[in-house]
Amino acid sequence: MKRFTISPPIAALILAVVLFLLSGLLPNGFGSDMAVARAQALNILRLSVFLGVIAAGQTLVIISGFEGIDLSAGSIVTLTAIFTYVTVKGENDKVLIALLGALLIGAFIGFLNGAGITFLKISPFVMTLGMSGVVTGAIIIANHGNVSGKIAPIMTRLIARPLSPSFPIPNALIIWLIFGVLMWLLLERTTFGKNLFAIGVNRVTAKLSGVNVTGMNLAAYTLAGALAGFGGFLVVGNTGVVMIQLGQPFLFPSIAAVAVGGTLLSGGKGSYWGTMAGAIVLTLITSLLTTMQMPDSVRRMVLGATLLVLISIYGRQQSLRQ
């Protein structure tokens, strides 16, 4: 008899539903009020958008294998958010320029990560961690702790608000759904996606099959940086303010979201739909702990423990495949 299995994205979504129902049983939950429950569900989904977009880059580098990880994502989010804030200065006609600039800045930093890993043979962990320190230092030197700027009204309307009073679906959620479809097409319907999975399974075999492993590695980290830059643009559009540590709270949850969604941390297997489900689960966990009035230190411990447990489970898959 065939063993009944549930795909990781579906399992993550089931877990999300369970967590949401549990949050309703708490003293400060929504109880049986369906209007409040609907509003809370939409708000959680809206908050999941920003983590989900930032985790998209992590999905790419983790699927690429070779212990791929991007610890510079949080710093890139901060840098591109500050760049957007300073560039836009409250003017709608500068939003597109700021978006393109954020994507290019993120892509450039990601390319440097990929170049260091590919040509200098530096460990992804060490390379991206070092780049994170460089970017954070550059932010402090450039701004001296004082950032002057303002987001444009169109950013607030398209990112932080619903489509209309009669259709209360957040615009950010619509953007995420479109983004998710594009990520699915990239991973499942393009040569880039097929080659990415190939180098994640076995780089030697992929190279012998004609895959440009060097080019794919550079492309994966460059695209991951660009996606982190897009995440920074969205985050500042939602918050309306910037700070030196704006992107750091997204770093480890972005890695955990990929793992929760079923992407093997050893590479070669995964999906962005799973990452989206993982982002929702982690946002729900944070919301649940906040409702329980748990301090920030406890929330960090829970997220860290979740990541460690998943690493210990999925990390064995590489040796099993080999």
pLDDT at 177: 94
Enumerate the domain spans of the chain: 48-286+296-321
pLDDT at 200: 92
Predicted TM-score (pTM) of the model is 0.88
Per-residue model confidence as pLDDT tens digits over 58-77: 999 999 988 889 999 999 99
Q: What is the pLDDT of residues 10-32, one digit of tens each?
A: 766 776 777 666 666 555 555 55
Q: What is the pLDDT of residue 221?
A: 96
Residue stretches of the chain with pLDDT short of 70: 1-9, 11-12, 15, 19-37, 144-145, 306-307, 309-322
Fold classified for 48-286+296-321: ABC transporter involved in vitamin B12 uptake, BtuC (1.10.3470)
Per-residue tokens: 266:
């050893």
